[in-house]
Structure 1
Amino acid sequence: MNQSIRKAAVIGSGIMGSGIAAHLANVGIPCLLLDVVPTQLTEEETKKGLTPENPAVRSRLATSAIEKLSKIKPAPLYDPAFASRITPGNLEDHLPQIADVDWVIEVVVENLEVKQQLLKRVEQHWKPGTVVSSNTSGISINEMAAECGESFRKHFLGTHFFNPPRYMKLLEIIPGRDTEPELVARMKDFCERVLGKGVVIAKDTPNFIANRIGTYGLLVTLQEMLEKGFTVEEVDAVTGPAMGRPKSATFRTLDLVGLDTFVHVADNVRMNVENEHEQAVFTSPDVLTGMVARGWLGEKSGQGFYLKKKTPAGSEILSLDLKTLEYVPQMKPKSASLEAAKMAKGAGAKTKALLGAKDRYSDLAWDILKQVLVYSAEKVGEIADSVKEIDDAMKWGFSWELGPFETWDAIGLARSVERMEAEGLTVPAWVKEWVAAGHKSFYKQEEGRLYSIHVASGAYREVEQPEEVINLRSLKEQNKVVKGNSGASLIDIGDGVACLEFHSPNNAIGEDILSMITQSIDEVRSNFRGLVIANQARNYCVGANIMLLLMEAQDEEWDEINEIIRKFQYTMYALKRFEKPVVAAPHRMCLGGGVESCLPADLVIAAPETYYGLVEVGVGLIPAGGGCKELALRASQTAGLPDADLQPYINHIFQTVGTATVSTSGHDAKRLGYLRPSDRVAVSQDVQIYQAKQAVLGLDRSGYEPIPQEKVRVVGAEGKAVLQLGALGMKQSGYISDHDYLIARKLAHVLAGGDVPAGTLVSEEYMLDLEREAFLSLCGEPKTQQRMHHMLTKGKALRN
């Protein structure tokens, strides 16, 4: 199946349709993007003398959607060049071309009649065996294809991508009554392995899984708020990170989704369920429908539950007072429960701490949570076959850190059920029977295997975990840690491969991580075939420990800073010269020292969402852990022949590093030159460590030899002058400050190889000395220390 879908067609070029086409292009699948023929010419088309029959006019909607992909933020494409994989067309002229594709995805307006009519047209050109799916957020799959032929229905299913398709992991697959089970299994496999999605199998019920539970949760939150008089910001303080939920919490989420869209989704359940209690819950409150009537739809209309207002001091975000419908300054809620949740580590501990403090915010959290947990339990078997699918849907679709049943385990299953019943809530019989049988949780882990309740049998059943998914936490629970300290651990991931995992605060590189790298080299040399550098924290590594550097700089401990940087440099140098293969697997934020920990590796396998960059200039410094040296060496290698012009390559590096440019994806890191052509991008973060492990084994089997020492050809004094002249121009034009210019001059000196003649071959050690000297001199600058302090206290760069 992985190879059977080689080409696709997406019908509907709106935000969702073009986003799905973009993600197909991201993974290398050429795509036909179709939309209706416009009924009128634009002003520009009229000026050009075009007619409605012109092909450019007829396919304008799809063409325009493809052109916009490079302008949308966040970017739908891993690399803007991937837009060339999408071919625009229209439904009148190009629909017959779907006979040449392997998968047709309908993404038109959420209207049953419109979808039914389109599917009839698709069937006329359908090639038997081609997969056809609908990207609907809640319309019945069975009703949609009811008037199509049996063979067509066997190949038809729902594929509900979450928006934006590139970034949201969840993909709900919804089989119809007639969908071939084998097709469902093959599509699940394809969407996981090729598209990198987290797939759950949903039943054909209103709003499927994630939107059913998520909408219910948002509505009961609104109801509790209105009944008990909480403010918008109070509810968001309770229902965000304090409960293991995203920072957008309740009302920022609603503003992002769009209040009109949310009301439509809620109505879809209300109109399609028979249970009176559900109908009541899914009836949008008057305040919500009133806001929609006013045009207060959230971000897309400029105001919703929040309003961003410009002030003389900058801008201020106001919140809506639901009693007066006026926007007022936010009041930051404070309470013992919120503080307890803030101090706790991990979503389960945070939620437990929030519920345990016994104040009005704790009561609000419980009153919301208990209803969501019971409703989720009621829907097992109706919207999905397992608790795992519901949990995964909420984690992947709504970015909850724990799903409902995982949350229930975390707060204490038996105790919470007892409290729910004492408060008059009807807990589903299967939950009570499970607790009565002596079970304390819906999940359990034994010897590295995960089990969850199988509701139909009333017993635990092992959760299938693909071989391609390596879970470092599970391995650590199985006592696979070989060595470890406060900042990092070396873990045996099997087959003679070890993984070095960072786990310091924010994975910042300090003495503990450097020490563990050295110990790991010794251990792997003796007992393993090679090394993977990877972790499964939120971000791979945010850089070096600048708090330590700032303290030493303020105390004028220059010798100490020199030794810190020297140790960093030579630890990375030892990693590069190591006689066993090393593969780095960065993901999400990989900045500064994080990048420098990857540069010495024989191979980098980045996650698709890898935001990779040498950003030291943002804190008034330059890369000094081998970053400048490695990029200069790569420029020397790329330029090739001794008489080849090296300057353009160095100019590019100077601009990238000097502007602290960060990649927008793993593929973009290649375009920027941070990754080599030989480096790879994994299909998803889930399989990244497995792929890194396989790469280590492949290098070992091929007779690995360590990277040989090589001289660096540099542009020297002449090239440095070119770089510094460019920086001077930016300073004179007002683009950079005096201190930026000082940093740029230091960076130019290092990247150029100092004041030697152009074309001189220098050693890597010489380049490291240049890095360290420039870094030390900048540490002594008051404005650099101000930038470091500002980053530590404010979390953003200071322009001074």
Structure 2
Amino acid sequence: MSHTKFIVRKVAVLGAGVMGAQIAAHLVNAKVPTLLFDLPAKEGDKNAIALKAIDGLKKLKPSPLAAADLAQYIQPANYDDDLSLLKDCDLVIEAIAERMDWKGDLYRKVAPHLGAHTIFATNTSGLSINALAASCPEDVRARFCGVHFFNPPRYMHLVEIIPCLGSDATMLDNLERFLVTTLGKGVVRAKDTPNFVANRIGVFSMLATIANAEKFGIRFDVVDDLTGPRLGRPKSATFRTADVVGLDTFAHVVKTMQDTLPNDPWHALFKSPEWLQKLIAAGALGAKTKLGIYKKDGKKMFVLDPLKGEYVGAGEKGDDAVKDILKIADPAEKFRKLRASSHPQAQFLWACFRDVFHYIGFHLGDIAHCARDVDFAIRWGFGWSVGPFETWQAAGWQQVAQWIDEEVKAGKALASANLPAWVLESDRAGVHFAQGSYDAAGARLLGRSTLDVYQRQLAPAKLLGEATAPLGETVFENDGVRAFTTGDDILVVSFKTKAHTIGPDVLEGLNQAINIAEARFKGLVLWQTEEPFSAGADLQSMLPAFMMGDWDSIDGIVNRFQATSMRLRYSQIPTVAATQGYAFGGGCEFVMHCDRVVAALESYIGLVEVGVGLLPGGGGCKEFALRASQEARGDVLAALKDYFMAIATAKVATSALEAQEIGFLRKSDCVVFNAYELLYVAKQQALTLAEAGYRPPLKIKCFAVAGRSGAASIKGQLVNMLEGHFISEHDFTIASLIADVMTGGDLEAGTEVDEQWILDLERKAFMQLLKNSKTQDRIANMLTTGKPLRN
């Protein structure tokens, strides 16, 4: 570590608009004390504007705050009274409206108040960083750069760092370290070109889609059906995304392209269509005004028909023949069929891909440092599962390049610019290789960043064309799990099942891995190669036994499940669960039984068995009964009630911090903001426990339960809910059984039991529900539709 440690003690955000307030929210999620500035209010409390924005954060869905009480750590401020506070900030982020003149005025106002080492950054989505730097005094320019967050900042992984000509290299590295580890972001360093990398290409893609939809006569709702998840893109697809972003914001970014890219061969495309201008003029700005390209009337959805200039019923889907082409797994065949089809929807899709490929091929040299930056920017900033260059390369670089070249020359593309020579090289296989990604300006391959913070990413974001060998060295593998080591004394276990569900193979494999770890390793980490952590028990694998009424074999599986949870707790080595995404049901139960959890902030944890008409049968009821007893100050029932409600209502924590509040995670568990650092941190935790002379906890001989009087008290409330029609008869049956199990069954209040006592009750109740026809209906419905049935 040659550099001085960069410590961020406090950050200020200038501008309490949508982005500013949400950036402030994510900073306090990460325990960074934050000031939120805005203009002084004309009357009353001078901080009224910032206060209103902070209050607004609590109402937004999905929540920008990872825990409800975090808003109090954002300190409201105004430019009249509080500029002196900026000297103590290590980073100041400007996030006011996208106007050069307003930003310049603000810079001149705040610059004298910045500390000598304060980093000053702008969250502009497309204005020139060098032009903005000119409004800063000379001595601030070395500490000035662009830091462009994507909306919503808590959930979008991308942040673009855009240096100005004088930006100090060490400052940029320090900022990147902070963004990657503290805020959990994926950083792309961009050039100072209009709209930078993600918006330049992402917005071009939307404009090309709009233009081709008009050319081929495709309705907006059909476009959204075809350009969403079917292409590995967000559900909001194209037009709904514009509504969500705000039609005015979208038009603004387009206007920036129109004004600042006069020589772009696609310049004619950079204008808002007439129908869009009309919507904006009428104040229909999308989701924020509840009216845009789409409108909702009661339960019915309507969509704009630009030709008629009026709304028509929405919900039309793409043609089956075209959807079948999109299902083809082999990209080369899929593109060949799309291009060869005479169906307008297929021609439309091919045209959209062709125009984006044409654009990124033509502009790679001037927009980005290499092709990897383009793909990550679009994946992390626009939510595509595969980047545009990766898509092209997977479909066969040369064939696609040849098609684009032919169609450009035939005047079929949106612009007549020829592809650059490098694209058409006769031996080119693509842009991503094991040695690096293509940099068109330097005609070379660039490797990944060597910044120290990336050494913590043992399994960084994958990119097509890079080496894809599985991580580490396999120690043991069966159909359910792979156990491997990355050259230290920790055994890492990953599940191989779909959604990482837990069936007999996983139970078998995990037990075998614990045996191996006890014999040869210092610790064991449960970590999945991608989200989710686990969707819970594999009900599908129980189906045959279920159909045949082979209850003994299912009882055996549940017994094995419980025993595996208990082994995670009492084995001779420390066990650490590393979670991200969903950890439901049995997955949550495994998490609750490990010695330590390292949870990515975006971990959604819950005991959700009630949704399929069951109760937690892998130790979840027991664990909450035990924790309630340990926390109770004399009154076990009082401590138990919230835990009971969490199970009975299938409550899911919407962040790792909320999971700590509900009790799925302990306060001592670690929360990590960058999911790519999970494995590194989890292994360090396991090693730390081992180095501290780990011994398994002593088996708990006895703990007090709330008994039948506790169960009666809970059931009294359930009766009220049933009579008020808040829950169904079957919900009442399930919840009553959960109450019986969690209070220890037919015993006096305060009776002491051991863990096995509750585990046995739990298993018996689980089997009882499994034999109930209403539960069987719920399970069947979940397996066929993926949705819970309320019966």
TM range (shorter): over 0.9
Residue-by-residue CA offset, 1:172-224 (whole Å, 9 max, x unaligned): 11111222122112111211121111111112221111111011010011111
**Aligned match of 1:116:** 104
SS in 1 for 2:610: helix
Query: Which one of 35, 39, 53 corresponds to residue 36 of structure 1?
Result: 39
Q: Does structure 1 retain, via aligned residues, the 8 Å contact 2:328–2:334?
A: no
Query: Which one of 765, 773, 777 corresponds to residue 786 of structure 1?
Result: 777
1:397-796 equivalences in 2 (<5 Å): 397-424=381-408, 426=417, 428-432=419-423, 435-436=425-426, 438-445=427-434, 451-464=436-449, 466-471=454-459, 476-477=469-470, 480-549=473-542, 552-639=545-632, 644-711=634-701, 712-796=703-787
Task: Please give the root-mean-square deviation of Cα atoms over the aligned residues, in Å.
Answer: 2.2
SS in 1 for 2:212: helix
SS in 2 for 1:594: helix
Structure 1 stretch 349-358 or stretch 377-386: which is displaced more?
A: 349-358
**Aligned match of 2:412:** none
Question: Kindly tell me: are residues 356 and 454 of structure 1, through their superposed partners in 2, closer, same or farther at Cα, counting changes over 3 Å?
Answer: same
Query: Which one of 163, 174, 181 corresponds to residue 169 of structure 2?
Result: 181
**Aligned match of 1:219:** 207
Q: Does structure 1 retain, via aligned residues, the 8 Å contact 2:526–2:578?
A: yes
SS in 2 for 1:607: strand
Query: Which one of 50, 75, 84 corresponds to residue 72 of structure 2?
Result: 84
CA distance in 2, matches of 1:77, 1:249: 25
**1:342 maps to amino acid:** K
**Aligned match of 1:377:** 361
CA distance in 2, matches of 1:354, 1:593: 43
Q: Does structure 1 retain, via aligned residues, the 8 Å contact 2:704–2:751?
A: yes
SS in 2 for 1:71: coil
Q: Does structure 1 retain, via aligned residues, the 8 Å contact 2:532–2:581?
A: yes
CA distance in 2, matches of 1:127, 1:300: 37
Question: Kindly tell me: are residues 798 and 242 of structure 1, through their superposed partners in 2, closer, same or farther at Cα, counting changes over 3 Å?
Answer: closer
Question: Kindly tell me: are residues 217 and 293 of structure 1, through their superposed partners in 2, closer, same or farther at Cα, counting changes over 3 Å?
Answer: same
Q: How many residues align?
A: 770
Distance apart, 1:285 and its partner CA: 2.1
**Aligned match of 2:260:** 272
**Structure 2: gaps (5+ residues):** 410-416
2:184 is aligned with 1:191 = no
Q: Does structure 2 retain, via aligned residues, the 8 Å contact 1:344–1:353?
A: no
Q: Does structure 1 retain, via aligned residues, the 8 Å contact 2:500–2:535?
A: yes
Residue-by-residue CA offset, 1:251-291 (whole Å, 9 max, x unaligned): 12112112221111101111111215332121222232233
Residue-by-residue CA offset, 1:396-423 (whole Å, 9 max, x unaligned): 1001112222122111111211221122
1:193-272 equivalences in 2 (<5 Å): 193-272=181-260
Q: Does structure 2 retain, via aligned residues, the 8 Å contact 1:9–1:103?
A: yes
1:281-430 equivalences in 2 (<5 Å): 281-310=269-298, 315-324=299-308, 325-342=310-327, 344=329, 352=335, 355=338, 358-360=341-343, 361-424=345-408, 426=417, 428-430=419-421
SS in 2 for 1:758: coil
TM-score calculated relative to the size of structure 1? 0.92
SS in 1 for 2:265: helix
Residue-by-residue CA offset, 1:612-663 (whole Å, 9 max, x unaligned): 00011122111001111112222222337xxx32222211111111111110
Q: Does structure 2 retain, via aligned residues, the 8 Å contact 1:420–1:427?
A: no
CA distance in 1, matches of 2:291, 2:81: 41
Question: Kindly tell me: are residues 247 and 795 of structure 1, through their superposed partners in 2, closer, same or farther at Cα, counting changes over 3 Å?
Answer: same
Q: Does structure 2 retain, via aligned residues, the 8 Å contact 1:617–1:658?
A: yes
TM-score calculated relative to the size of structure 2? 0.93
SS in 2 for 1:284: coil
CA distance in 2, matches of 1:353, 1:336: 14
CA distance in 2, matches of 1:713, 1:109: 59
CA distance in 2, matches of 1:653, 1:343: 46
SS in 1 for 2:76: strand
CA distance in 1, matches of 2:69, 2:340: 53
Q: Does structure 2 retain, via aligned residues, the 8 Å contact 1:2–1:189?
A: no
Distance apart, 1:554 and its partner CA: 4.9
Aligned-pair identity (%): 38
Question: Kindly tell me: are residues 318 and 82 of structure 1, through their superposed partners in 2, closer, same or farther at Cα, counting changes over 3 Å?
Answer: same
CA distance in 2, matches of 1:480, 1:120: 57
2:18 is aligned with 1:25 = no
SS in 1 for 2:148: strand
CA distance in 2, matches of 1:427, 1:365: 21
Distance apart, 1:89 and its partner CA: 1.7
SS in 2 for 1:587: strand
Q: Does structure 2 retain, via aligned residues, the 8 Å contact 1:475–1:493?
A: no
CA distance in 1, matches of 2:562, 2:335: 44
Question: Kindly tell me: are residues 457 and 62 of structure 1, through their superposed partners in 2, closer, same or farther at Cα, counting changes over 3 Å?
Answer: closer
CA distance in 2, matches of 1:382, 1:798: 53
**Aligned match of 1:167:** 155
Residue-by-residue CA offset, 1:712-736 (whole Å, 9 max, x unaligned): 3212222222222222232233322
**1:287 maps to amino acid:** W
